[in-house]
């Protein structure tokens, strides 16, 4: 109890001084995130104050997001998210670069397919065919789960009719799916496990729900299972959010063995897996992959899939498959959120799939992106060399880099240095609960760039890193 030594000021209520002191200790990492705080009785005795004073201090810490309670266990420290400031800085900087200005930048931040690959002409013909066939009916909001034809096509084309159309819910993209799941199953102070690093949009949603977020390091073949099991043994986990293929930002893909083990743990420890199938279509290494959902025998997976990243971003379409336990909650939450997703776009996508145009589009994307992917690797090895370390994901659109630890620069400084040279990167601080964990990392996405731009951008990054002094 040596760390709890407070000199009280007579003019300030003691419970406020205690809460301020503990907050400062948490911010300085002298009290670790998730560390159990002393019991009310023990801390009251140590500080020689009334137990009610400690209760008030702990309540204030909870209200300010610095602590949470576990029923029957006690009060635990909760480190405040330190990347909010960086997210605002990054977002505001990108907002100022828009329209014509953006064209003079080499933009490695993109997360959608290049406009040169949009099947605009073909999709226009499909839209016209839908309007000729369905008329005004194409705009009707009738089916709360989504257009039945599209749900049938998803079941048949993507799941070989092994998933009932009644279990499929059409969404306005994956982000809405994460939001709906969060509203449906996560309550204040519920425990959620995420990969470290992970998609910033998911972190934002879980923080907004005031969940307790536990991070587990992600390796090339999925999360570190020993870390994961330690968390499961000590905490009652509600769900685990995972990007099973070509994870954003790292590009990691779960091995079959890890998927099976995590499904086993889900049943053993009674939690659910929220599977965000990010980019399973873009596979360059010819390996065969299976989703968590396809391996799920105990109805433990909430599966989310977006079509926006690889098709036409503006149409904002995706779908979700829910376990029986949460199906009604999730469907009601979707209805309460936006009633229905665009009926016209659902019908058009349904026809696009049934005409076998989807398959053609994905085959074309794989050929085009495989070429970019190989070129990207060549440029990285040629120009960045030992300045960074990374692994080749085998698919997707991202590469994630660790800056040589001997270089005196962090990811936000690198972001601004690159921006000044008309190159945009994504700093690693955005993908962690606490910003400092991402100081040595950055992400490059090649999806919206042509080969000359890729080479030019990587050359610029290389020259900037060459000028950085060593520690």
3-state secondary structure of 310: coil
pLDDT tens, position by position, 402-427: 999 888 888 989 999 999 999 999 99
pLDDT tens, position by position, 160-194: 999 999 999 999 888 899 999 999 999 888 999 99
Long-range pairs of 286-293 with CB within 8 A, sequence gap ≥ 24 = 287/394, 289/244, 289/245, 289/253, 290/256, 290/259, 291/244, 291/245, 292/242, 292/244, 292/254, 292/259, 292/262, 292/263, 293/321
Determine the Cα angle at 399 with ends 394 and 400, to 5°: 125
CB-based contacts of 213, cutoff 8 Å, min separation 6 = 192, 193, 194, 203, 206, 207, 433
Greater confidence (255 vs 332) lies with 255
Mean pLDDT to the nearest integer, 275-291: 87
Mean pLDDT to the nearest integer, 369-378: 94
pLDDT at 383: 95
Contact 440, 197 (CB under 8 A): no
Q: Could you give phi then psi for residue 416, rounded to 5 degrees?
A: -70, -35
Highest averaged pLDDT of the listed ranges 337-341, 404-408, 450-454: 450-454
* pLDDT over 70, % of the chain: 95
Greater confidence (139 vs 339) lies with 139
Q: Could you give phi then psi for residue 281, rounded to 5 degrees?
A: -80, -25
pLDDT-derived band at 1 (thresholds 50, 70, 90) equals low
pLDDT reading at 340 higher than 70: no
Architecture (CATH level 2) of domain 14-77: Orthogonal Bundle (1.10)
Lowest mean pLDDT among 262-266, 315-319, 385-389: 315-319
Question: Where do the structural domains in the chain lie, given as residue ranges?
Answer: 14-77, 84-110+360-466, 120-357
Question: Residues in the chain, how many?
Answer: 471
Mean pLDDT to the nearest integer, 295-307: 94
pLDDT at 112: 75
pLDDT tens, position by position, 65-112: 788 887 778 888 887 666 666 677 777 777 777 777 778 899 999 877
Q: Domain 84-110+360-466 - what CATH class?
A: alpha beta
Q: CA of 324: how far to CAs of 270, 284, 304, 439, in Å?
A: 15, 35, 15, 41
pLDDT at 332: 84
Tokens 């400084």 sit at which residue? Answer: 413
Handedness of CA 179, 182, 184, 187 (dihedral sign): negative
98: burial class by Cβ within 10 Å (0-12, 13-18, 19+)?
A: exposed
Mean pLDDT to the nearest integer, 152-158: 94
Closest C-alpha to 154, from 167, 141, 137: 167
Contact 266, 295 (CB under 8 A): no
pLDDT at 117: 75
Q: N- to C-terminal Cα distance for the chain?
A: 36
Q: How many CB atoms lie within 10 A of CB 214?
A: 22
Average pLDDT, the chain: 88
pLDDT-derived band at 2 (thresholds 50, 70, 90) equals low
pLDDT at 84: 65
Q: Does domain 120-357 have CATH number 1.10.246.90?
A: no
pLDDT tens, position by position, 110-136: 877 777 777 778 888 988 989 888 888
Mean pLDDT to the nearest integer, 373-401: 93
pLDDT reading at 139 higher than 70: yes
d(CA 83, CA 456): 30
pLDDT at 191: 93
């Amino acid at each position: 109890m040596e760390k709890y030594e407070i000199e009280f000021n007579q003019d300030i209520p003691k419970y406020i001084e205690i809460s301020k002191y503990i907050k400062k200790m948490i911010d300085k990492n002298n009290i670790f995130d998730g560390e159990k705080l002393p019991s009310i009785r023990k801390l009251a005795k140590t500080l020689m104050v009334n137990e009610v004073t400690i209760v008030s201090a702990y309540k204030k810490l909870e209200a300010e997001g610095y602590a949470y309670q576990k029923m029957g266990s006690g009060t635990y420290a909760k480190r405040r998210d330190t990347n909010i400031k960086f997210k605002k800085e990054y977002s505001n900087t990108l907002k100022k670069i828009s329209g014509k200005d953006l064209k003079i930048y080499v933009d490695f931040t993109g997360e959608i397919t290049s406009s040169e690959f949009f099947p605009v002409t073909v999709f226009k013909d499909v839209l016209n065919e839908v309007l000729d066939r369905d008329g005004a009916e194409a705009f009707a909001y009738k089916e709360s789960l989504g257009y039945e034809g599209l749900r049938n096509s998803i079941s048949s084309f993507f799941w070989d009719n092994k998933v009932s159309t009644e279990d499929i819910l059409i969404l306005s993209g994956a982000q809405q799916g994460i939001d709906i799941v969060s509203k449906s199953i996560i309550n204040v102070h519920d425990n959620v496990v995420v990969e470290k690093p992970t998609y910033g949009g998911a972190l934002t949603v879980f923080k907004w729900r005031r969940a307790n977020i536990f991070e587990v390091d992600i390796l090339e073949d999925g999360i570190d299972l020993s870390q994961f099991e330690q968390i499961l043994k000590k905490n009652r986990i509600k769900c685990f959010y995972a990007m099973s293929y070509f994870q954003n930002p790292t590009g990691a893909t779960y091995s079959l063995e890890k998927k099976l083990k995590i499904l086993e743990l889900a049943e053993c420890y009674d939690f659910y897996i929220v599977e965000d199938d990010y980019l399973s279509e873009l596979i360059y290494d010819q390996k065969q992959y299976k989703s968590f959902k396809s391996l799920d025998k105990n109805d433990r997976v909430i599966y989310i899939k977006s079509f926006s990243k690889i098709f036409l971003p503006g149409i904002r379409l995706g779908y979700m498959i829910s376990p029986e336990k949460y199906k009604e909650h999730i469907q009601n939450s979707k209805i309460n959120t936006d009633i229905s997703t665009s009926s016209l776009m659902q019908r058009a996508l349904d026809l696009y799939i049934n005409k076998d145009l989807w398959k053609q589009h994905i085959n074309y994307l794989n050929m085009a992106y495989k070429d970019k992917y190989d070129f990207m690797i060549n440029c990285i090895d040629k120009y960045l060399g030992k300045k960074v370390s990374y692994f080749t994901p085998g698919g997707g659109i991202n590469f994630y880099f660790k800056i040589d630890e001997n270089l005196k620069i962090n990811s936000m400084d690198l972001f601004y240095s690159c921006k000044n040279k008309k190159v945009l990167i994504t700093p690693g601080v955005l993908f962690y609960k606490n910003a400092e964990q991402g100081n040595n990392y950055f992400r490059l996405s090649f999806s919206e760039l042509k080969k000359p731009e890729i080479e030019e951008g990587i050359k610029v990054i290389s020259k900037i890193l060459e000028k950085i002094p060593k520690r």
